[in-house]
Chain A
Amino acid sequence: MKYINFKEIDEKVLYEKLDNELEVYILRKKNFNSETARFFTNFGGLDTEFTPINETKEVKMPSGIAHFLEHKLFEDPSGISAEEYYSKTGAYVNAFTNYTTTCYYFVSTNNFEDNLNYLLDFVQTPHFTDENVEKEKGIILEEAKMCLDNPSRLFSESILSNLFTDIPYNNKIVGTLDDIKKITKEDLYTCYNTFYNPSNMKLFIVTNKKEEDVLKLVKDNQRKKTFIKENSIKRKIYNEKDNVKKDYYEFKGKINENRICYGLKIRKDNFSYSLEEVINSISMYFDFLIGSLSDFNLELKKNKIVNGNISFNLENIDNYIIVKIYAFTNKKDEFISLLEDKFKHPNLNEKDFNNLKKIMKSSIFYNLNTVAGTMDFLYNEYMFFKDLSEETLTKELNLSYEVYKIIINEINYDNKSVTYITKEDN
């Protein structure tokens, strides 16, 4: 057990790796009524090819299996759903699945101990039958149809799919209609037994209780359960190349305004600095380049190259930092040409750098103002850096202008993929 002291932001987190290898992080927010916990596994939409626990042969599962499993864990053997359990005390429970993770969480204002125990219990008590799996298919097929009608979702799915050559970002998180229909209870147990081992899971808690008391509760809960010791999960190894699958992809969708995403795939180990410094520098640089502080953003709008704001986001995937720049535009070629011209002339200065650092620090304090925001901060920080430590945050907040300049000048813009979605013909 140890405390991670985030001195710069006036918060501390209790950390322990339990005997069953579950890692637990607890942050205390005194004087707040609400409490929340997230229990998540490193198992998401990408994980369809792997060697099941205690087996030797690799299997291929239907797409959407992680998401299907998320739905099914809400039902326990007595027939009571997690929603019903939590609603008795007015608590809220939900879950989400993304490409790499499935996360279960609740928010409550009373009965925290029972709610936390139940979270650990319902996620760690699978109950799949032929009947309840078939019943769930009707619900998930409706969800999949809803996703097919969402052009923004189709757009964002195609961006990652075009950037990666081998990692299967063409998998739909919710699954294809055909694959959903194929899923069986045996598939679900195979995935559950492999990926829901405590050694592959994390528990994040924001509570108004004493951290040590909450940790004891988690330990007592886990001590009552036995798990097979799992050394490491054998996922299919992908031979991802530095180049992109498609450097340009255009398709038509049921939209009213054409939009573009300019995606960059930047190799992390080409930089001579830490991951925190690299990610923060790149994030601050793109904020400087196209955020509200940039005259470039304003000029593009005034000259009607883009309609509305430009935005960007960053992801840390495999060996790469992915930068995605979004805009509504009917003038894609002009937009691309002006953007690439900007990349060639970074025009950095220390005053802007210091301003961007100021915004970054302010945004952390705004987040820490609520229990939900605090959980988001911890979770996102962990997901981005795969770690939660004093050093990580210190490196982020104490980035120097000299290091920033070097990192920005080392960015390789060669591997790009542009996705453009245009209006369907009437």
Chain B
Amino acid sequence: MNYKKVNISNVEVYLLKDTKFKTTKIKTILINDFNKDNFTKERLLSNFLSRSTNEYKDELSLSKRFIELYDPSIRIYDTYFKAHFKNFSLNMLNEKYTDKNITKDIIDFYFSFIFNPNFKDIKSFKENYLLSEKSLEVSYKYREEDNKFKAINNAFSLISEEAPIKYDINGNIDELKKIKEKDIIDLYNEELKNSACKIFVVGDFDSDEMVNMIRDNLNNKFINKNYDFSDYIFDKKTDLTIKEDSDNINQSILVLIYKFLGLTKDEILYTLPVFNFILGTSSSKLYRNVREKHSLAYSVYSSVNPSESYMHICAGISKENYEKAKEKILKEVDDMKKGNITDEELSSAKESFITRVKLDSDSQSNLLNLFKNYIIFDEEIDDEKIIKKVKKITINDIVNLSNKLSLDVIYFLRGDK
């Protein structure tokens, strides 16, 4: 992957030019320390920042500006991996499809969401704050209607380690009620002062012009700070937590959470995705045996989040099948540990991972995520090298990784309808 790296005012800017895209996508990430007390506040701040700027003080004037600029998309959201990442993403049409010389206006407009928030005008600040608060409240209530979300969230709250995923990283309604207007201004000021910043650009653009436009907006606003993400490893087994709740629903949900002990960087980046393709995606062991062979579930899957060193398995089942489904799932995980994996399973999983790498290069969003993940792990981004490493993975590598699994939580949301 032929990308260019430039340093501007303490900010690393990564530029990847590809003429096949009709748009250019930019992601600016502010990285700062993770604080479990700030999840809801961060979400509220991101929602508020998306709603107005110092120049365009309400949704209506903002919408009009968006349309003048051919409706670029600007999203502000939070992700976590040991640290907190505030993501500002922009997707804009190339000038071939818009007015000439509009790109500079779009980029200036985009950076105004980061550097010129609508904090000064008290009336519109209060109005936007209330709208953000209400929209967040509705989204919290809405997601609680999803039984699978509820079951997985409840299960993760029981894990043994103090990882961000233990907490509801999107925040919750109780915390929302405690937040004061001034809190989000303080949080913003604090973060802008103390954040490291990285910028990624993917699309069809002129590199020199792009760098100049970014430089004009950055203007020495960020400090030089580096985060080390390499030691995010759990090393001790902990006792298994088992919990059951019940609800007036038709389908029961079984969640098993595993912790990985002592993962290496290569395991996180390469072996773990292959492991998951074998165990828990479509046509995997869980799919074939729990769903197809025993007809116990419509939905059964495993999901690994490389940044968290945790895996969860989730199955929607009938309550009377709880013991049988649990036993079958545990057996599949046990088979992974014992090496009961066929060459065909390994080969299919490797092909699936390679396909994903190739698919990533067709999507600007996925490319930006790939950039971010590999930079976090200080790994060179090169499709060919990734594919070579994946091809070398053996059944033994999968067995070694499987034996680093430690069952942490079994959670059952029993449907009593």
Q: Mark A111-150, 1 if CB is under 8 A from B, else 0.
A: 0000000000000000000000001111110110110111
Q: Does B414 contact A (CB under 8 A)?
A: no
**B97-133, CB < 8 A from A:** 97-98, 127, 131
* Known interface pairs A90-B348, A142-B316; A32-B251 also in contact (CB < 8 Å): no
Q: Mark A308-342, 1 if CB is under 8 A from B, else 0.
A: 11000000000000000000100000000000000
Interface residues on chain A, size class: 35 or more
Q: Are A293 and B297 within 8 A (Cβ)? A: no
A293 to B243, CA, bound (A): 48
Min distance, Cβ B319 to any Cβ of chain A, angstroms: 10
Q: Are B347 and A88 within 8 A (Cβ)? A: yes
Min distance, Cβ A344 to any Cβ of chain B, angstroms: 22
Q: Does A92 contact B (CB under 8 A)?
A: yes
A150 to B318, CA, bound (A): 16
Residue of chain A at shortest CB distance from B251: A145
Q: Does B238 contact A (CB under 8 A)?
A: no
**B295-316, CB < 8 A from A:** 295-299, 316
* Known interface pairs A256-B145, A362-B70; A301-B131 also in contact (CB < 8 Å): yes
Interface size of B by Cβ–Cβ distance < 8 Å? 68
Q: Does B396 contact A (CB under 8 A)?
A: no
Tell which of A33, A297, A301 has the most Cβ of chain B within 10 Å.
A33
Q: Does A413 contact B (CB under 8 A)?
A: no
* Known interface pairs A302-B127, A366-B93; A358-B249 also in contact (CB < 8 Å): no
A109: chain B residues at CB < 8 Å are: 354-355, 358-359
Min distance, Cβ B296 to any Cβ of chain A, angstroms: 7
Q: Are B59 and A298 within 8 A (Cβ)? A: yes
A-B contact count (CB 8 A): 168
A365 to B146, CA, bound (A): 33
Q: Does A220 contact B (CB under 8 A)?
A: no
Q: Does B22 contact A (CB under 8 A)?
A: yes
Residue of chain B at shortest CB distance from A109: B358
Q: Mark A25-36, 1 if CB is under 8 A from B, else 0.
A: 000001111100
Q: Are B297 and A142 within 8 A (Cβ)? A: yes
Residue of chain A at shortest CB distance from B355: A90
Q: Are A308 and B135 within 8 A (Cβ)? A: yes
A–B pairs, 24, beta carbons within 8 Å: A32-B20, A33-B358, A34-B359, A83-B287, A89-B351, A90-B348, A90-B351, A90-B355, A94-B282, A109-B358, A110-B355, A143-B299, A148-B251, A256-B141, A257-B138, A293-B60, A308-B135, A355-B67, A359-B71, A362-B71, A365-B23, A365-B97, A366-B22, A366-B91
- Which A residues are within 8 Å of any B CB, using their own CB? 30-34, 81, 83-84, 86-94, 107-110, 135-140, 142-143, 145-146, 148-152, 254-257, 292-295, 297-298, 301-302, 304, 307-309, 328, 355, 358-359, 362-363, 365-366, 368-371
5 closest Cβ contacts across the A-B interface?
A: A138-B295, A90-B351, A90-B355, A256-B141, A83-B283
